Amino acid sequence: MRITEVECHPVRVPGVSPPFVWRDGLLGSPSEGEAAVLRIRTDEGVQGVAMSPRRGSGVILADLLDRVLRKELVGQDPLQREWLWHRMWELDRTEELPLYLLGLVDTALWDLAGRLADRPTWQMLGGYRTSIPAYASTVTYSSIEEYLDIADQALELGYPAIKLHAWGDARRDARLSVALREHVGDDIPLMFDGSAGFDLPDAIHLGRALSDADYLWYEEPMREFSVTAYKRLADAVAVPLLVAETSDGAHMNSADFIQAGAATFGVRASTQLRGGFTGAMRTAHLADAYRLRAEVHGPEIPNRHLCMAISNTTYYESLVMGNPISRESGIDAHGLVHAPTGPGVALPAGLDYPPALQAFVDKETVTPPRA
């Protein structure tokens, strides 16, 4: 089988309504924009698709296809995923590919493999489970009182665990974290995501509060450039650290965090930021070798597949936004998300796709892209 064509299909993605905010300093929910779907066609009629949900992806992907990727991919065997994954890293050396596009070809090839076998991609990766608990991952709210109300709603909806994205003010965030623990009691797993809002002294201050309040993990408190800073944080706080979500280099970078003793809970795994399914699975297996977790990052459909294929992951990340919040499509009243059943990966439902892409849209759930 040979690849005969690679195409970029722009897809309009609406803004989130109502809009939400992240910590101080970060942009909030994206407004309407143009995402992109990569479509790979073959001489045997089998096809694969992958979506880059980031607004602006359409222009960048179309340019990359025209200048670099089409001549690289056409004529290749689409089942040689490993070879093509290594080719992407070679191309990255001169192109400095956006991290969220580096794994897009790999994701489309895994979609194609699933469609060829008429199996969901998580089974092709090596199925581990058929359902997993989802945690409520909050956006940033305006007050401690509102967070406590959101927590009550999340538990009422069936979510068994809660992760905070707070303000990026270490002292205020510490007060919130302690108040939430007191509010929900000792038995609800709580996590904190710093979205890289702190320097080392502030990260230590907040980390000590999270340690005292028995948080399950402390995620990305600083930009993930200095492994040394993370090692010093790990030495200073008891709460386990979950790191290497947004850093470049996939498993090669995650390895340095682990080797330094900085990934005391584990590392992040996602198709978007770890180089597609191939990079995410490598990262998970690396963490497994050290008896660490590889927690799947982000609520998109490819990450549902990863959740079913990675043994050493605990939860699916489900974003809750607005007030009142609602349960994400496809999560049941017990807070479980179930394994996709259709072939391949599938594109998220609910978007205005061109006719050529309709056959690839998920038939089960509506999970609009959030990035």
Q: Which residues bind Mg ion (CB under 5 A)?
A: 193
Residue 330: Cβ within 10 Å count? 20
- On whether the CB atoms of residues 313 and 307 are closer than 8 A, the answer is yes
Helices marked H in 237-356: 250-259, 276-289, 301-309
Question: Residue 318 Cβ, how far from Mg ion at the closest point, in Å?
Answer: 13
> 59-66: which pairs have CB atoms within 8 A and are 24 or more residues apart?
59/34, 60/36, 60/98, 60/101, 61/8, 61/36, 61/101, 61/104, 62/8, 62/10, 62/36, 64/95, 64/97, 64/101, 65/6, 65/7, 65/8, 65/38
Q: Pick the closer one to Mg ion by CB: 163 or 327.
A: 163
Q: Pick the closer one to Mg ion by CB: 113 or 244.
A: 244
Give the span between the Cα atoms of 354 and 136, in whole angstroms: 32
Among candidates 159, 132, 138, 136, which has minimal Cα distance to 306? 132
Q: Pick the closer one to Mg ion by CB: 357 or 371.
A: 371
Q: Pick the closer one to Mg ion by CB: 193 or 300.
A: 193
Question: Residue 150 Cβ, how far from Mg ion at the closest point, in Å?
Answer: 18
Question: Residue 251 Cβ, how far from Mg ion at the closest point, in Å?
Answer: 18
Residue 368: Cβ within 10 Å count? 16
Q: Pick the closer one to Mg ion by CB: 193 or 202.
A: 193
Give the span between the Cα atoms of 226 and 198, in whole angstroms: 13
Question: Residue 272 Cβ, how far from Mg ion at the closest point, in Å?
Answer: 12
Question: Residue 158 Cβ, how far from Mg ion at the closest point, in Å?
Answer: 22
Q: Pick the closer one to Mg ion by CB: 111 or 224.
A: 224
Question: Residue 197 Cβ, how far from Mg ion at the closest point, in Å?
Answer: 11
Residue nearest to Mg ion (CB): 193
Question: Residue 20 Cβ, how far from Mg ion at the closest point, in Å?
Answer: 15
Q: Pick the closer one to Mg ion by CB: 106 or 193.
A: 193
Q: Pick the closer one to Mg ion by CB: 196 or 227.
A: 196
Question: Residue 266 Cβ, how far from Mg ion at the closest point, in Å?
Answer: 13
Give the span between the Cα atoms of 100 and 102, in whole angstroms: 6
Site of tokens 């990863």:
306
Give the span between the Cα atoms of 163 and 80, in whole angstroms: 38
